[in-house]
Amino acid sequence: MGWYYIQGILILSGIYLMAVLGLSLLTGFTGLFSFGHAGFMAVGAYTTAAMTIKFNVPFILALLIGGLAAALVSLVIGKLTLNLKGDYFCIATLGFGEAIRLILDNVQYFGGARGWPGIPLKTGLMNVIIFNVIAVVILVNLIKSRHGRNLQAIREEEMASQIIGINVFKYKMISLAISAAYAGIAGGMLAHYTGFLQPKMFQLIKSTELTIMVIFGGLGSISGSIIGAIVLTSLPEVLRAFDRWRLVVYGASVIFIMITRPQGLMGGYEITITNIKKLISRITSLGKKKHTIGGDN
């Protein structure tokens, strides 16, 4: 367990955190579920890598272009499928994610199914942290703004939001595009961390894992998503010793979470200074109460 190894886990957690933050906006705050975010990551990853390798674009700019590409793709998908209800939007994103992967399998320009080696390693712990801090700040501000409240209104009651004049379709599109952009940037960082891209890396299971991270942390809680991403990315590493059994445990714990605590770890609460103060005062007042009741003995 050298520092190098821990650093690797932290970088990987940071990369998935970026994608999870985006998905948190879509799932936790807008109430839309996607099983295609690995597809957006793939779009971002391949675009970013193409930019840095084939066009010599600087890394940061390439990442932004990757995010933009994912957002553009998501707008096309959204335009076509955001009108679908519940389950069907889910299935559409699932189909899209798989289609992207299978198309990439056949694009020889990017190495096809055999993969694309030799991508320069540019993602380090420092820039992952910086990107994530920026991403969190943007997301928190967005959620606290009027637009963010509109998104939450849509999550709570779609028809009522429509009636009070929120353009539901437009806001769903915005939410999808932003979350796709986050996923795209995450994909770009992943490409420049592993140095190798293969369509296989973006299978359906990856999208599922991202959604599971959001739900594990708690829908509608950014701090929950952060904890979810870090815990669930490092959990398989911790369980590495029982290599064969780790995914068995993973699958079983997903079912366990669903049937015992579906609101997730944070259940919509945020870790903020005021909330921590409240919690502390509640704990101390609880202690006092006990004291007075027990005072008779």
Partner 1 sequence: MSAFLQQMINGLSIGSVYALMAVGYSLVYSIMNFSNFAHGGVIMIGAYMGFFLMTALELPFAVAFVLAAIGAGLLAVSLERIAYRPLRKRNAPFLYFIISAMGASIFLENIVVATIGPTFRTYPKVFSSTPFQFGQISVGRLDAIMFLISGISLMMLVYIIEKTKTGMAIKSTAYSIRASTLMGVNTDRIIFIVFGLGGVLAGIAGVLFGMKYTVYPQIGFITMKSFIAAVFGGLGSLPGAVIGSILLGVIETLTAGYFSSQYRDLIAFILLIAVLIWRPSGLMGKITEDKA
Q: Quickly list DSSP for 122-163.
A: ---HHHHHHHHHHHHHHHHHHHHSHHHHHHHHHHH-HHHHHH
Q: Is 106 in the site for partner 1 (CB under 8 A)?
A: yes
How far apart are CB 115 and partner 1 at their closest, in Å?
16
Helix axes 86-106, 59-81, angle to 10 degrees: 130
Which of 40, 46, 96, 116: binder of partner 1 (CB under 8 A)?
Answer: 96
* Helix (H/G/I), strand (E/B), else coil: 165: coil
Nearest to partner 1 of 143, 215 (CB atom): 215
Nearest to partner 1 of 235, 254 (CB atom): 254
Q: Which residues pair with 116 in a beta bridge?
A: 197
Q: Check residue 195 and report its DSSP letter.
A: S
How far apart are CB 68 and partner 1 at their closest, in Å?
22
Please give the Cα distance from 175 to 27 (Å, whole number): 9
Q: Which residues pair with 197 in a beta bridge?
A: 116
Which of 13, 52, 74, 81: binder of partner 1 (CB under 8 A)?
Answer: 81
Fill in the per-residue mask, 114 to 143: x = in contact with partner 1 (CB under 8 A), - = not in contact.
------------------------------
Q: Which of residues 179-208 bind partner 1 (CB under 8 A)?
A: 204-205, 208
Q: Is 99 in the site for partner 1 (CB under 8 A)?
A: yes
Contact 41, 183 (CB under 8 A): yes
Count CB atoms within 10 A of the CB of residue 95: 16
Contact 88, 197 (CB under 8 A): no
Q: Is 84 in the site for partner 1 (CB under 8 A)?
A: yes
How far apart are CB 144 and partner 1 at their closest, in Å?
25
How far apart are CB 216 and partner 1 at their closest, in Å?
10
Instruction: Count residues near partner 1 (CB under 8 A).
Output: 42
Instruction: For residue 118, give every residue at least 6 positions away whose Cβ sits within 8 Å of its Cβ, in sequence order, or none.
Output: 53, 195, 196
Part in contact with partner 1 (CB under 8 A); list of ranges 10-18, 101-109, 116-124, 185-193: 101-109
Please give the Cα distance from 98 to 95 (Å, whole number): 5
CA nearest to 159, candidates 169, 146, 145? 169
How far apart are CB 27 and partner 1 at their closest, in Å?
9
Fill in the per-residue mask, 203 to 222: x = in contact with partner 1 (CB under 8 A), - = not in contact.
-xx--x--xx--x-------
Q: One-letter amino acid identity for 72?
A: L
Q: Which of residues 227-266 bind partner 1 (CB under 8 A)?
A: 244-245, 247-248, 250-255, 258-259, 262
Nearest to partner 1 of 114, 278 (CB atom): 114
Q: Is 53 exposed, middle or buried (0-12, 13-18, 19+ CB in 10 A)?
A: middle
How far apart are CB 69 and partner 1 at their closest, in Å?
19
Fill in the per-residue mask, 148 to 177: x = in contact with partner 1 (CB under 8 A), - = not in contact.
---------xxxx-----------------
Count CB atoms within 10 A of the CB of residue 8: 14
**List of residues contacting partner 1 (CB under 8 A):** 33, 80-81, 84-88, 90-92, 95-96, 98-99, 102-103, 105-106, 157-160, 204-205, 208, 211-212, 215, 244-245, 247-248, 250-255, 258-259, 262
